[in-house]
C-alpha cells in the first residue's frame, strides 16, 4: 500500500485550510488575528492527521496509543475514517468533546472548521494514490483520482509546494 506521510498531510491540510479561509468568506475565519491563526493551524494539523488513526503505525496513532490502537483494530485502513460519513462523525464527536472540556465557545467553531478541512485534505491526498479511499463508506469501493506513487523526493517536493501555497495564501491573497 502506498502511504502519504504525516508531514505531507500536515502541509497539505495547512495549505488547503489557509486557501479556504482566505478565499471563502462564509467560513469567517480571519487568519490575520494571531490567536485565530494559531488555533486554525492547530486544527488543520489535527484534522490532517486524524483519518490515519485507523493505521497502527501512523503519526496520530503514536500520539494517542490506546485510542489509535482501538481504531486500527475496529476499522480497516482508509475505510470509515477516510470517508465523508467518517469525517462528519469525527468532527461531531470532537465538538462534543470540546464542549465537555469547556473549551472557549468562540474557539470551537474555528477549531471544528479547521479540523474538517484538514480531514478533507487528508482524504484528497490519499485519493491521489493508486490505493485510494472508501470515501462513500459503508461501501468498500475505493476511489482514486490518480496513480501517484508517494515517497522520497516526490513527496518532499509536494510538501514544499504545499508550504509555498500556505505562505502565499497567508501573505499575498
Residue found by looking up cell 491563526 in the block: 37
pLDDT at 172 over 90: no
The count of domains in the chain is 1
Flag whether 109 is in a domain.
Answer: yes
The residue with greater pLDDT, 164 or 89, is 89
Which of 83-92, 125-134, 149-158 is predicted least confidently? Answer: 149-158
Flag whether 28 is in a domain.
Answer: yes
Whether 14 and 169 have beta carbons less than 8 Å apart is answered as no
> Which one, of 78, 56, 95, 97, lies nearest residue 139 by Cα?
78
Flag whether 111 is in a domain.
Answer: yes
Flag whether 19 is in a domain.
Answer: yes
Domain of residue 58, residue span: 6-171
* Cell numbers representing residue 98 in the block: 470540546
Please compute the mean of the pLDDT values over residues 100-112 and round it to a whole number: 96
Q: How confident is the model at residue 4 (pLDDT cuts 50, 70, 90)?
A: low
pLDDT, tens digit (0-9, with 9 covering 90-100), for 19-62? 999 999 999 999 999 999 999 999 999 999 999 999 998 989 88
Q: How confident is the model at residue 107 (pLDDT cuts 50, 70, 90)?
A: very high
Percent of the residues in the chain that have a pLDDT greater than 70, as a whole number: 93
pLDDT given at position 1:
47
Flag whether 1 is in a domain.
Answer: no
Flag whether 88 is in a domain.
Answer: yes
> Which one, of 135, 125, 124, 27, lies nearest residue 80 by Cα?
135
Q: How many residues does the chain have?
A: 173
Amino acid at each position: 500500500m502506498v502511504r502519504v506521510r504525516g508531514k505531507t498531510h500536515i502541509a497539505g491540510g495547512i495549505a488547503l485550510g489557509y486557501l479556504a479561509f482566505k478565499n471563502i468568506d462564509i467560513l469567517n475565519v480571519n487568519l490575520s488575528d494571531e490567536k485565530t491563526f494559531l488555533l486554525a493551524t492547530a486544527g488543520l494539523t489535527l484534522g490532517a492527521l486524524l483519518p490515519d488513526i485507523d493505521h497502527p503505525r501512523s503519526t496520530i496513532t503514536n500520539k494517542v496509543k490506546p485510542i489509535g490502537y482501538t481504531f486500527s483494530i475496529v476499522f480497516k485502513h482508509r475505510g470509515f475514517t477516510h470517508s465523508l460519513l467518517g469525517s462528519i462523525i469525527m468532527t461531531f464527536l470532537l465538538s462534543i468533546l470540546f464542549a465537555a472540556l469547556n473549551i472557549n465557545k468562540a474557539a470551537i467553531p474555528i477549531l471544528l472548521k479547521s479540523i474538517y478541512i484538514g480531514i478533507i485534505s487528508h482524504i484528497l491526498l490519499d485519493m491521489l494514490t493508486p490505493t485510494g479511499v472508501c470515501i462513500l463508506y459503508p461501501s468498500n469501493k475505493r476511489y482514486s483520482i490518480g496513480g501517484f506513487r508517494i515517497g522520497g523526493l516526490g513527496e518532499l517536493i509536494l510538501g514544499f509546494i504545499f508550504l509555498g501555497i500556505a505562505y502565499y495564501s497567508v501573505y499575498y491573497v
